[in-house]
Structure 1
Amino acid sequence: MLRWSTAGESHGRALIALLEGVPAGVHLTSEEVRAALARRRAGYGRGARQKWEQDELTVLSGFRHGVSIGSPVALEIANSEWPKWETVMSPDPVPRESLLIDAGTGDEREVARNRPLTKPRPGHADLTGMNKYGFDDARPVLERASARETAARVALGALAGAINSEVAGINVVSHVVSLGQAEDTSGYLPTPEDSEALDASPVRCLDPDSAQQMIDTVDEAKKAGDTLGGVIEVVLYNVPTGLGTYATPFGRLDSQLAAAMMSIQSVKGVEIGDGFTTARRPGSAAHDEIVREDGRVHRVTNRAGGIEGGMSNGEPIRVRVALKPISTVPRALRTIDTETGEAATALHQRSDTTAVVPGAVVAEAMASLIVADALTQKFGGDSVTQMQSALASYIGSIPEVRK
């Protein structure tokens, strides 16, 4: 099985990503991970921060000459803006007076960067986090709660995707279903062949008319000093049948996917397959009938989203994720000043109008990690070759495959 973790703060020196259980023989280069990180930084509605705060990747362990060696993989994603934050985020004590002066540039923003943040944002972890951990300043909360942490997840997702691809030929793709009130009305489900076109789209939408409506919606929100949420969909192709189990509640593949998606910052809803739409259908129109055609057993439809009874059924896995609007609203919302107890307007820490487009890339990474974990649990071996052999043996043992 795979075990993963991340560490680091938004404006800290670096993020750290650790993945244990990676089999030997997985091919992946630093450039491929950097390409994944670049995809997370893209998307219409992102602010200026993405242009000047770069991800500086270093593979610390687990690979030799582009191939995994079976030991834990450790990745470092350094923050190019660290020199500006070294005093504010220093892990060691700093003189109090150093937080009351600028950084030597005469820029008032340098002074503001050092000030305590006592006006928590509605919808963010700020206030509850301050109360929970006993802080009088929101800085320690927002630094870890920030979606900047997802850079580490995306790096790990690139590795998980390589495991999935090499062992079982699994591919993952994501697209934006809606952004604010603008929706993709085409009904088209992207395939891996659409990956380049999706990456080239500023809103990860292949329908030109729907994409333009999304762009216009973002422009309107930015002009109004507001932020937008939306819905994205992740689709995994060629997932072998039988990943996950009905035998234990948390062994169910859909429960694991749902938990993983809900762990992403700003996510407020998850559905597998047709999800909530299926809840409104009668049973006769809700389930996917099973047929044999051209020597292959498959479902006529895929309303279940590739998962039945907590297990993958061989059809594409579809997961939809709803993201709320970013909590930092330029047209600041009402809050209180925790220092004085008086009414105030919430602090403003970033300038993105929406994070829905990069959210799709993050959701891809999380789906890849969950499926890779299920894959290693069922076909576990010390190397990719051993896992491929176990998978081939399993597929050959399925009665309807042999007929």
Structure 2
Amino acid sequence: MLRVLTAGESHGPELIAVMEGLPSGVPLLAEDIQADLQRRKLGYGRGSRMKFEQDELTISGGVRHGLTLGSPIALRIGNTEWPKWTEVMNPAPVELTEKSRGRGAALTRPRPGHADLVGMQKYDFDEARPILERASARETAARVALGAVARAFLAELGIRLVSHTLSIGPVRVPDDAPVPTPDDVAALDADPLRCFHPETSERMVAEVDDTRKEGDTVGGIVEVLAYGLPPGLGSHVHWDRRLDGKLAQALMSIQAIKGVEVGDGFETTRRRGSAAHDELFVTSDGIARGSDRAGGTEGGMSTGTVLRVRAGMKPIATVPHALRTVDVATGETAAAHHQRSDVCAVPAAGVVAEAMVAITLADVVLEKFGGDSVKETRRNLTAYVDGIAESLRTSAQPVDLAHDLAL
């Protein structure tokens, strides 16, 4: 079982990420984690902050000579902007100098769509700085770093992930478009919106341009696919052990995510039952499903087919044309505080979603197969798959009804 913890504020000296429970023997290099931190900055429509945040990574514990030790993994992501914020975010009581007073001014106009107002109520603050610093999506850098660790573990078991952008605002990839595989990550990262459909990507760029011209922001939908999963991860026996439930919680915890679906999700609710489920057929490769509507889970467990989950991101709430709010210091209507922001951060949300799915899958893999070393985990997984009765073995690929059943 994995335990994951992040700490730190947006303009603090660093973010801290800790993962406990990962087996020993997983190959892990700082440059691999750093590469994922750079991927988090990708995407057309990002703001200026992505250009000067360096995300200086240090592995502080749990790794020796490129291999995990089985002890807690500790990561530090330094904030290169910290020298500008040493007074405003100092943990000790300090008097702000003239230079820092503007940056450290009380934020008494909470921003709609953010944690500002509710956080001030809950934690008894009279301004939003203590809330927005931790609520900021900057925290996702720590999640992406831990996701890279989880993906390195999963890769040792033959499990690989990929994420891509399905929609930006009203512009969406056609339903019949091909989906990417893990071998397509480089091509996806080279696309301005991390979209696997070139014609749609061009329209997405135009949508972002139009949004920027209007002084607004735009959201969208990302999809994460996991290849190589065995059947039986998760469980039907209790609500908190269901794989789809764990995935939904993990994805909904990402800042600005407002909806999650597994497989065809909400589209399935518009179908009749006869067209909503994946029928089973006998093939030369074992039992195969005739479609992939369920997205790789049934009854709260992985089916052994490709796992497919989607997350919907709302438009960023920090709108250049500041939204109306109330100045809690005066009680009067005012324009909300405006921090630096992106027009569109959906491509980055895909990278973060990929990280959260990786962490979730690593957790359920260890719940099912255990192991203090990755070799032990691999032996346990292999023994489990080999022990499935011949009559119950399934194919990882949906059957081609027009071709395979005719043979």
Question: Under a length normalisation based on structure 1, what TM-score does the superposition of the two structures give?
Answer: 0.95
Q: Distance in 2 between matches of 1:350 and 1:8?
A: 19
Equivalent in the alignment of 1:165: 155
Equivalent in the alignment of 2:90: 90
The residue type paired with residue 395 of structure 1 is V
Q: Is the 8 A contact 1:243 1:378 kept in 2?
A: yes
Q: How many positions carry a matched residue from both structures? A: 392
Could you tell which deviates more after superposition, 176-185 or 239-248? Answer: 176-185
| Aligned: 1:125 with 2:115 | yes
Q: Distance in 2 between matches of 1:74 and 1:128?
A: 31
Q: Which of 95, 99, 104 pairs up with 1:102?
A: 99
| Aligned: 1:174 with 2:171 | no
The residue type paired with residue 251 of structure 1 is R
Could you tell which deviates more after superposition, 257-266 or 179-188? Answer: 179-188
Q: Which of 206, 211, 214 pairs up with 2:204?
A: 214
Give 3-state SS (helix, strand or coil) of 1:26's partner.
strand
Give 3-state SS (helix, strand or coil) of 1:348's partner.
coil
Equivalent in the alignment of 2:397: none
| Aligned: 1:384 with 2:371 | no
Q: Distance in 1 between matches of 2:22 and 2:178?
A: 34
Deviation at 1:251, TM superposition (A): 0.1
What is the 5 A alignment of 1:180-191? 180-185=169-174, 187-191=177-181
Deviation at 1:401, TM superposition (A): 6.8
The residue type paired with residue 376 of structure 1 is L
The residue type paired with residue 172 of structure 1 is L
Equivalent in the alignment of 1:272: 262
Equivalent in the alignment of 1:55: 55
Equivalent in the alignment of 2:13: 13
CA pair 397-326 structure 1, distance change in 2 beyond 3 A? same
**Structure 1 residue ranges without an equivalent (≥5):** 104-110
Q: Distance in 2 between matches of 1:401 and 1:193?
A: 32
Give 3-state SS (helix, strand or coil) of 1:243's partner.
strand
| Aligned: 1:322 with 2:312 | yes
| Aligned: 1:23 with 2:23 | yes
Give 3-state SS (helix, strand or coil) of 2:368's partner.
helix
- Write out per-residue CA displacement over residues 207-245 of structure 1, whole angstroms, 9 at most, x where no aligned residue: 222101111111111111101110110010111100000
Q: Which of 230, 233, 237 pairs up with 1:240?
A: 230
| Aligned: 1:398 with 2:388 | yes
Equivalent in the alignment of 2:104: 114
| Aligned: 1:331 with 2:326 | no
The residue type paired with residue 182 of structure 1 is V
The residue type paired with residue 7 of structure 1 is A
Calculate the aligned-residue CA RMSD, in Å: 1.1
Q: Distance in 2 between matches of 1:124 and 1:187?
A: 35
Deviation at 1:392, TM superposition (A): 0.8
Equivalent in the alignment of 2:32: 32
Deviation at 1:400, TM superposition (A): 2.8
Equivalent in the alignment of 1:340: 330
- Stretches (4+) displaced over 6 A: none
Equivalent in the alignment of 1:358: 348
Equivalent in the alignment of 2:282: 292
Q: Distance in 2 between matches of 1:395 and 1:148?
A: 40
Equivalent in the alignment of 2:403: none
Q: Is the 8 A contact 1:297 1:400 kept in 2?
A: no
Q: Distance in 2 between matches of 1:57 and 1:137?
A: 31
Give 3-state SS (helix, strand or coil) of 1:113's partner.
coil
Q: Which of 259, 272, 277 pairs up with 1:282?
A: 272
Give 3-state SS (helix, strand or coil) of 1:25's partner.
strand
Give 3-state SS (helix, strand or coil) of 2:337's partner.
coil
Q: Distance in 2 between matches of 1:204 and 1:359?
A: 10
| Aligned: 1:373 with 2:363 | yes
Give 3-state SS (helix, strand or coil) of 2:359's partner.
helix
Could you tell which deviates more after superposition, 23-32 or 291-300? Answer: 291-300
Deviation at 1:102, TM superposition (A): 1.1
Q: Which of 152, 155, 174 pairs up with 2:145?
A: 155
The residue type paired with residue 53 of structure 2 is E
- Write out per-residue CA displacement over residues 171-204 of structure 1, whole angstroms, 9 at most, x where no aligned residue: 1011111111211226221111211110111101
Q: Is the 8 A contact 2:165 2:196 kept in 1?
A: no
Give 3-state SS (helix, strand or coil) of 1:16's partner.
strand
Q: Is the 8 A contact 1:298 1:315 kept in 2?
A: no
Q: Is the 8 A contact 1:244 1:312 kept in 2?
A: yes
Q: Distance in 2 between matches of 1:401 and 1:366?
A: 34
Q: Distance in 1 between matches of 2:370 and 2:196?
A: 37
Deviation at 1:206, TM superposition (A): 2.1
The residue type paired with residue 249 of structure 1 is W
Equivalent in the alignment of 1:304: 294
Q: Is the 8 A contact 1:16 1:76 kept in 2?
A: yes
Q: Distance in 2 between matches of 1:94 and 1:184?
A: 52
- Write out per-residue CA displacement over residues 126-167 of structure 1, whole angstroms, 9 at most, x where no aligned residue: 01101111111100100000000000000000010011110x
The residue type paired with residue 176 of structure 1 is T
Q: Distance in 2 between matches of 1:261 and 1:182?
A: 22
The residue type paired with residue 378 of structure 2 is Q
Q: Distance in 2 between matches of 1:160 and 1:401?
A: 33
Q: Is the 8 A contact 2:177 2:197 kept in 1?
A: no
Could you tell which deviates more after superposition, 198-207 or 358-367? Answer: 198-207
Q: Is the 8 A contact 2:179 2:196 kept in 1?
A: no
Equivalent in the alignment of 2:191: 201
What is the 5 A alignment of 1:250-265? 250-265=240-255
The residue type paired with residue 350 of structure 2 is A
Q: Distance in 2 between matches of 1:402 and 1:143?
A: 51
